[in-house]
Structure 1
Amino acid sequence: MSTATKKPARPMRGVGDALRAWWGGLSRPAQWAVGIPAILVLAILPLFPPPLLDTPGTSFGGVMAQFAMYALLAIGLNVVVGQAGLLDLGYVGFYAVGAYSVGLLTSPDSPWNQVGHGFLTTKWAWLACVPLAILLTAVSGLILGSPTLRLRGDYLAIVTLGFGEIVRHLADNLGEITNGSLGLSRIAYPRLGESPQHPEGYFSGSNLGKSDSWNLLDRANSGTWWFWLGMALVVAVLLLVGNLERSRVGRAWVAIREDEDAAEIMGVPTFKFKLWAFTIGAAIGGLSGALYAGQVQFINPTGFNVINSMLFLCAVVIGGQGNKLGVIVGAFLIVYLPNRFMSVQVGGQSLGDYKYLFFGVTLVVLMIFRPQGLFPVRQKLLAAGRQVYRAVHRPGAQAATAPTGGAR
């Protein structure tokens, strides 16, 4: 008497899994055909914010500008944590190096100010400092990673956490250079669109925009302009990181993340590729720091504490480690939700002030029920391997390959 075989229960699929499967099923041209209109819709969103998405009490354009900056940070940290599997708790240190690279070269409060009387002109000072900030943070990542990336797990996390705190304390104690806790003000920003209507340009904080104008350039405030610039940088970085993922470098990162010992036995030079991930992630963090310095035009050490580093890591974990689009969603949630609920009062206290409590509870719940994040990464090589396995072990395939009886 034969017994019916039961198929194993399929795991529960969430919205993130369905979206990921739909996106992964599209061809490359189809992904571009969907992605470009989506980016255009996202670009005009700050100009005509829907009532349900608008942030009462604060500029929606400014919130979206902060989101673009956090998206860059999340992508850079995802290279280190999500792709290579290196636990970095001091990523805010690279963010600070990028911001102070721009501030020290362009702020009148700095003895190293080069605007006007140095090699930087007033109009192009910020743009000229961005490559320098990227280079300096990449070098700092190389210097930090060279002696420390032989460590693993908790030991590496403690070292990187110490690096972030060292950078913050240096900025606080080197008063003659960094102006200490008073910070650096009047940092340079892009001088684009200077006119009688906008004497300091589109990117100046004095540009409040004209909400009643149908000219999109005049309607956009400074936050919207910074959001557009940030999204352009996000797209450029996504293209770079996406190409790396599909290359030999990306496959080596996946191997290191899954099992570093096995990868090394199979001939992968793990230290070299970990150093690549650390350096690339640091450079992207420096780019975001330069964006932050130009946007707020003021930096001080309190903006680079360990709490911010935890928020960056929270965006990666919530969105889905290793998934580029997932960590962008995580960055949006980290930035948008506190600003959205800032106007909601509970017991005389703004609900947005409880953001650390809410994100902490969210992380605990995610680790219990969905540790892979909202949008888990899809390993295409493993998925292709499963498809081959199923094709070989289909009942029809087994019947076709079974020996047939005959006369001998």
Structure 2
Amino acid sequence: MATPGATTLSDDTGPIPPALRGILPVLIALPVLALAEWTLGASPFATYLLSVVGVNIILAVSLNIVNGMTGQFSIGHAGFMAVGAYIAGVTSLSLKEIGIPGVPVVVSDQLLFVEALLAGGVAAALCGFLVGLPSLRLRGDYLAIVTLGFGEIIRVFVQNTEAFGRALGLSGIPQYSSVAMVYFWVFLVVLVARRIAGSSHGRSLWAIREDEVAAEAMGVDTTGYKVRAFVISSFFAGIAGGLFAHFVPIINPGSFTFVKSMEIVVMVVLGGLGSTTGAIVAAIFLTLLPEGLRSLFGAMGAEGSLAQKVDQIRMPVYGVLLVVLMLARPQGLFGTKELWDVLPRWLPRKKKGLT
């Protein structure tokens, strides 16, 4: 019996059956992705640019699980991306020679592509577990140093390994990737991040972020939850690396340096630590920013050294944006809120009945 004078929200499940509610996002996403692939198939530049945007969204959202939700500070995300890229690339090159007998070539290529992506994701997750299990007992700057060291170890390792092409890079990887495949994984990482944030595991991660000592005193297995978050984040970073390896002509250690890790960190901080939609908006903005600068320089007539000018000005622009943001809004664009939480006056909400 409800307490007299108290108001409670009625359970408004809506017209969607509970059994369908779990798979409804997938049913909506698949035709949308197929339409996007059909629409953009004739534009190689748009396909490439959207693929880069999608990969950066996966990286930003996955890192947000560790840096935003759990409150840790990892700056070696490009290392896990490199593991996924190289393992997926080598797996594709090996499986391409074997093939799948009796299966049409188009279907066979996509099945092999998925296998290569999963191999890269699992390898990155395993590295995340091996690095995270001992190091996530550390906090703050010490954890950042460990993850930075891991990223540099991976870069130096692939740079001196014959099977990975050494410093010249790994070439000949089949170009299996597509806009539909990239954004299918974008959809999956966003779905996983949102489900984690709204679950009991997510509440434990938020508790660790707010006060790790208090969370541990309340019985939360802080090390266990941090390792799980690290493994999930590393898995999707590996998937992003595998996707990246299958739509660029060649992958080399220069694509996975400390600068790449910092670009991902800037995306997470700019969007707001803990905000999934904030990470998405920041990833889109910072990925398209160099193209906007190229257009600006093109309008100014700087054609000769256009790419060099953009590369020189990109990181200073990132730094200036970060400094201005930290001064004006230290919590990021959205803080820990989501896009629909910070626009209440423009987005009407359905009111639930009171009992």
Q: Is the 8 A contact 2:37 2:180 kept in 1?
A: no
Larger radius of gyration: 1
Write the distance in 2 (CA, Å) between the matches of 1:313 and 1:374. Answer: 14
Write the distance in 2 (CA, Å) between the matches of 1:43 and 1:66. Answer: 19
Write the distance in 2 (CA, Å) between the matches of 1:272 and 1:132. Answer: 24
| Stretches of structure 1 lacking an aligned partner (at least 5 in a row) | 1-26, 49-54, 108-112, 191-202, 204-225, 380-408
Of 170, 174, 189 in structure 1, the residue corresponding to residue 161 of structure 2 is: 174
| Stretches of structure 2 lacking an aligned partner (at least 5 in a row) | 1-12, 17-23, 339-355
Task: After superposing the two structures, state which structure 1 stretch, 302-311 or 120-129, moved more.
Answer: 120-129
Q: Is the 8 A contact 1:94 1:282 kept in 2?
A: yes
Equivalence for 2:143: 156
Equivalence for 1:375: 334
Query: Residues 115, 91 of structure 1: CA spacing in aligned structure 2 closer, same or farther, 3 A cutoff?
Result: same
The amino acid that maps onto 2:290 is: P
Q: Is the 8 A contact 1:321 1:372 kept in 2?
A: yes
Q: Is the 8 A contact 1:319 1:326 kept in 2?
A: yes
The equivalences for 1:86-125 within 5 A come to 86-107=72-93, 113-117=94-98, 123=109, 124-125=111-112
Write the distance in 2 (CA, Å) between the matches of 1:314 and 1:278. Answer: 18
Write the distance in 2 (CA, Å) between the matches of 1:375 and 1:238. Answer: 16
The amino acid that maps onto 2:64 is: N
RMSD of Structure 2 on Structure 1 (CA) = 3.1
Equivalence for 2:54: 68
Query: Residues 41, 247 of structure 1: CA spacing in aligned structure 2 closer, same or farther, 3 A cutoff?
Result: closer
Cα deviation, 1:90-139, whole Å, max 9, x if unaligned, reads 010100000011122233xxxxx343148899724322211111111111
Q: Is the 8 A contact 1:137 1:282 kept in 2?
A: yes
Aligned length: 303
Equivalence for 2:243: 291
Cα deviation, 1:304-330, whole Å, max 9, x if unaligned, reads 111011001111111111111110001
Write the distance in 2 (CA, Å) between the matches of 1:179 and 1:300. Answer: 8
Q: Is the 8 A contact 1:69 1:291 kept in 2?
A: yes
Instruction: Name the structure, 1 or 2, with higher relative contact order (CA <8 Å, separation 6+).
Output: 2
Equivalence for 1:306: 258
Equivalence for 2:279: 327
Write the distance in 1 (CA, Å) between the matches of 2:179 and 2:95. Answer: 27
Cα deviation, 1:3-46, whole Å, max 9, x if unaligned, reads xxxxxxxxxxxxxxxxxxxxxxxx9989x99xx69x95997599
Q: Is the 8 A contact 2:85 2:243 kept in 1?
A: yes
Equivalence for 1:359: 318
User: In the alignment, is residue 263 of structure 1 matched against residue 215 of structure 2?
Assistant: yes
Query: Residues 367, 46 of structure 1: CA spacing in aligned structure 2 closer, same or farther, 3 A cutoff?
Result: farther
Cα deviation, 1:226-262, whole Å, max 9, x if unaligned, reads 2222222111222222112111110010001111111
Equivalence for 2:114: 127
The structure whose residues are more often helix, as a share, is 2
Query: Residues 307, 264 of structure 1: CA spacing in aligned structure 2 closer, same or farther, 3 A cutoff?
Result: same
The equivalences for 1:190-205 within 5 A come to 190=176
Using structure 2 for the length normalisation, give the TM-score.
0.77
Using structure 1 for the length normalisation, give the TM-score.
0.68
Write the distance in 2 (CA, Å) between the matches of 1:41 and 1:117. Answer: 29
Query: Residues 276, 364 of structure 1: CA spacing in aligned structure 2 closer, same or farther, 3 A cutoff?
Result: same
Cα deviation, 1:55-103, whole Å, max 9, x if unaligned, reads 9xx9233211110110001111000100101100101010000001112
User: In the alignment, is residue 81 of structure 1 matched against residue 67 of structure 2?
Assistant: yes
User: In the alignment, is residue 234 of structure 1 matched against residue 221 of structure 2?
Assistant: no
Q: Is the 8 A contact 1:46 1:61 kept in 2?
A: no
Cα deviation, 1:159-203, whole Å, max 9, x if unaligned, reads 10000000000000112x21201111111243xxxxxxxxxxxx5
